[in-house]
Amino acid sequence: MEKDIGKINKNDTTDIVIRLDDFAGRKGVTIREFVTSERYTGFTKSGVKIDASDFKKFKEMINSITEEDLKEEPEEEEEKLPKEQATLDEEMPDY
């Protein structure tokens, strides 16, 4: 069973494709790059598979992101320092 859910254009030759599949007998959601070029047309190795058993957690994590979280902040004229970023060493919520 393969069902394409949608795609997002990454650049002139690459789309990010989201699909439901059951590769190797394991159902899940796959997010992969699909390239269309003179040399190669098809899926690349770049991507991730979310097993059906982890989908609820994945969906909760994605749904926890708000439009406000993704708004770009106006740049200041002062010295630009890197924004603080969570690392794997810091405590993150467990879904």
Show pLDDT as tens, one digit a residue, over the chain (95 residues): 889 999 999 999 999 999 999 988 899 999 999 999 999 999 999 899 999 999 999 999 999 999 999 998 887 665 565 666 666 666 777 77
Question: What residue type is assigned to position 15 of the chain?
Answer: D
Domain span holding position 28: 3-64
Residue 85 inside a domain? The answer is no
The torsion of the CA quartet 39, 43, 63, 71, rounded to 10 degrees, works out to 0
Tally the domains of the chain.
1
Residue 87 inside a domain? The answer is no
DSSP assignment, residue 11? Answer: S
pLDDT of residue 60: 96
| pTM beyond 0.85 | no
Measured distance CA(75)–CA(82) in Å, rounded: 12
Residue 69 inside a domain? The answer is no
Measured distance CA(27)–CA(89) in Å, rounded: 31
